[in-house]
Structure 1
């Protein structure tokens, strides 16, 4: 959630690209730092899978807790590759947070010990912008339903009936491999990023915004004029044609979720955009369903929870 050399080049990656002190030269890609635009404060604990990735106590990206076994705990977080591509020293993950300036007893923090970004991640094209993080200790869930995922205590706007409980730490559900989300499906993005393009202040309060999934061809055409290729297998766009609502820098790596039969499903990871909430240029998200076998392989090799 920090400006990088104050330079903005073509693509503004939404999460500063790297923790402070480990950033790539700005010539490769410029990073602007922003957060949820046009959103509202999330109900506390209504995104119980979201984590704040921090370095030296400063938030720089989001992430999501995922289930790794039948045990009600996890030491694995999914985020964007660009968040950790340049290193992850002194990076921690805080779960159960709402106001980062006022931690509560429900907030749990663990250190990131391993970060594996997708082997084909390309920082120039942002293709395959996904990474798996291993924590030094498992974060215990407080889900009221054993084996559950994606349970929320009433996400706003309340488009769907509330799911059980008032949980503070719950894993998000993963989509089926290869699953595609229909255009115009409403999705919810949450994060502690900037609240306007070109802003300096990230939000200490967890914000969320509802955005519709866009038709691939429209998104591809819009970004082609910016010299950016949108690969339908690896990414998708979500936002309004008129702009105004979007994820922004500092939200990078955070979850885009859609309500499914079992709970909220992690369909997207905040990846990049040109500016924030601009008309005709929706936010771009890593398509999680494209990486399910790879994610499971990483979980098997990294997780200490059995």
Structure 2
């Protein structure tokens, strides 16, 4: 969920490599509750090793691979300066966390940061993770507007309050026309996206790459939102990328 320009400037100053969105876009997750430890072990947060700060999220989909957005890994970000943390609900180190170094990022070849099209990437870890259950992908799932999904993520819970613990919340799948109108982007009506929104719930750029889950399976990847309760979330529809994902595992 995204707030005002002032917060955007504050958040942008905290992270390297210009990993910020438009001026009306900030970095928080609003609504929901703290996620129980062990419910989403596949949740990944990417940490800049130089600053020790979170900058994006993702999901473990195989022992070696993490699914996220292409936006999270601009070409200016050296992948060797990034670690992936999982099997934890806390941004602070704990004894159960699993940490791996990022060694490679493959973005969708047609990714366009201006239009938001094909905002998907697969990250390769330096060594496999066998102790953490990957998230199943919702290939073949049938989804209607009105279905209840779940969003998870770290980030701000308000203008200045950064949550150090993973949060989750139910959210409703919406007609794509809602996201098209909210962001004035007709591309969001294409088969490559899903749209979700619920009163008081949302995600932000620190939650970019987080999953939209349907019945425990990953249906979408949080790609675009505004920091405000009830603002819609544009999610990359993983079903549209099944061949590409499978070819890059």
Report the TM-score range of the alignment, normalised by the length of the smaller protein: 0.7 to 0.9
Q: Between Structure 1 and Structure 2, which shows a larger proportion of helix residues?
A: 2
Residue aligning to 2:191: 233
Q: Does structure 1 residue 137 correspond to structure 2 residue 132?
A: no
Q: How does 1:246-285 map to 2 (within 5 A)?
A: 246-259=202-215, 264-278=216-230, 281-285=231-235
The TM-score, its normalising length taken from structure 1, stands at 0.71
Q: Does structure 1 residue 60 correspond to structure 2 residue 55?
A: yes
Q: Secondary structure at the match of 1:174?
A: coil
The change in CA–CA distance for 1:31 and 1:53 in structure 2 (over 3 A counts) is farther
The TM-score, its normalising length taken from structure 2, stands at 0.87
- The question of whether the paired residues in 1 share the 8 Å contact of 2:202 and 2:227 is answered with no
In the alignment, structure 2 segments of 5+ residues that lack a partner are none
- The question of whether the paired residues in 2 share the 8 Å contact of 1:54 and 1:91 is answered with yes
- The question of whether the paired residues in 2 share the 8 Å contact of 1:80 and 1:252 is answered with yes
Q: Secondary structure at the match of 1:44?
A: coil
Q: Secondary structure at the match of 1:230?
A: helix
In structure 2, distance between residues paired with 1:256 and 1:105: 27
The change in CA–CA distance for 1:85 and 1:184 in structure 2 (over 3 A counts) is same
Task: Give the structure with higher Rg (CA).
Answer: 1
Of 42, 45, 53, the match for 1:49? 42
Of 205, 215, 219, the match for 2:179? 219
Residue aligning to 1:209: 169
Q: How does 1:109-188 map to 2 (within 5 A)?
A: 109-141=99-131, 169-176=132-139, 179-188=141-150
Of 146, 153, 164, the match for 1:191? 153
In structure 1, distance between residues paired with 2:143 and 2:83: 32
Residue aligning to 1:160: none
Of 89, 96, 100, the match for 2:87? 96
Residue aligning to 1:82: 71
1:181 CA drift (Å)? 1.6
The two structures, once aligned, show a CA RMSD in angstroms of 2.6
In the alignment, structure 1 segments of 5+ residues that lack a partner are 10-14, 68-73, 142-168, 300-306
